[in-house]
Chains A and B, each alone.
Chain A
Amino acid sequence: MAEVTLQDAVRNFASELAKKVNTFITDISELEVCTYTAAPDEIKASFASDTAIEAQASLRAYTRVSFDGDTTVVIPVEPGGVVSRDIWELHQDALRQAISSRTMMLQAIGGAAASALQALGMAGTIK
């Protein structure tokens, strides 16, 4: 029935988001950022495919930030042992973007879940 479909759509949405918020709180303890490079032919193959990124590219920099204070960093170096500043800067920019994106997403998901649950709650449709 249409009633069930409409209510179910909102209920599923609210329920999914609420689960996400819960998982977020559990899994937010770590943030990972990986930076790879690939030759032009290899990056071409990675576009529009689900092939594992490791199969097509070289890992150049890696950061895992644990919010208990542990941080793991892999710094990119050139063959001579010199730090590859270009790649490192790209990686740092990606890390900043990832932190900002996570904050925005948590706020947005929390707001959306709260509004959907509020609407369903008032309609007395939460079972």
Chain B
Amino acid sequence: MTAQLVVYGLEDGLDPLGLWQMQTAPALSFAADKGVPAAPTWQVALPGASVEAQAALAEQLLALQLALADLERVREELLALVAGGEVAYAATSDALSACRAELLSAVHAARAYSFDQRLSVGLLEDRESFFQWVALVKQVQKLVGNYVYVETTLGGREIGRTTVNWLGDFETIWRSVATAGEAELHQQAVRLALDSRTALLRVVTVVVTGAFEIAVKASVPGMQIFLLPAVWRFVRDVLAELRKARVR
């Protein structure tokens, strides 16, 4: 069995790292009649058997490390795209070439039009990426802006719930009869949730920095703002490709 990772309490949530399901309402039936808490909740539902639960959580912690390594690879791809003062990339036939071609096409479009034209052309080309990018920024603001809950269940039993405010203060409520092994699982779940939150912030940083680097190399004023949706699409798609490549 695997772990079920859900973040609820977000509108139009996205997880470009591919670990968490983003939902508006809680996933677990015990919570269904209580409504949605004011703060986002990271919910980690593990199998009931201790050995399976440890394995499932270890698998997700590893998946996060791999996703972070992928994100660094994406950042390098973006830097390579603008290497040597020119916005160009050698033609390749690997799985990422289509993503590079799409981004280069957006860069060339940005160079060809005026600022106003660039905005309208870019948005007409890919409104979905534009709205996703704005939604991601709002989501990350909400996740780091106030406080979050992290809840762990084992086979449907509630083990621990930690409230973390944005300054890092912790309040944890433990099931009084939780074993040391169960407690450790909740601590790891908290780590997974908080590291995932930091990773999402890192995704935003990589997109903004990537757009900035390309704009500097291409010497087009204001271009980085226009390029944000295109760079976001590149980051999202390359992360998905790298995940797929691991599964193959």
Contact = CB atoms under 8 A, between A and B. Distances in A.
Contacts of A38: 173-176
A15 to B, nearest CB: 10
Given A5-B134, A111-B205, A40 B175 contact: yes
Given A97-B187, A97-B190, A48 B208 contact: no
Interface string A98-119: 1101101100110110011011
A6 interface: yes
B133 A31 contact: no
B158 A43 contact: yes
A36 B173 contact: yes
B141 A34 contact: no
Interface residues of A, number: 61
Given A2-B119, A32-B169, A44-B30, A12 B141 contact: yes
Contacts of A98: 164, 168-170
Nearest to A106: B168
A6 B169 contact: no
Interface string A41-57: 00110111110010011
Interface in A59-83: none
A7 interface: yes
Interface stretch (B46-54, B86-94, B221-229): B221-229
A37 B168 contact: no
A54 B224 CA distance: 48
Nearest to A13: B137
A9 B175 contact: no
Nearest to B32: A48
Interface of B: 26, 28, 30-31, 34-39, 41, 116, 119-120, 123, 130, 133-134, 137-138, 140-141, 144-145, 151, 153, 157-158, 160-164, 166-177, 180, 183, 187, 190-191, 194-195, 198, 201-202, 204-205, 208-209, 211-212, 215-216, 221-226, 228-229
Given A31-B168, A48-B26, 11 more contacts: A2-B119, A10-B208, A13-B140, A13-B204, A16-B145, A38-B175, A43-B173, A47-B28, A98-B170, A102-B168, A125-B222
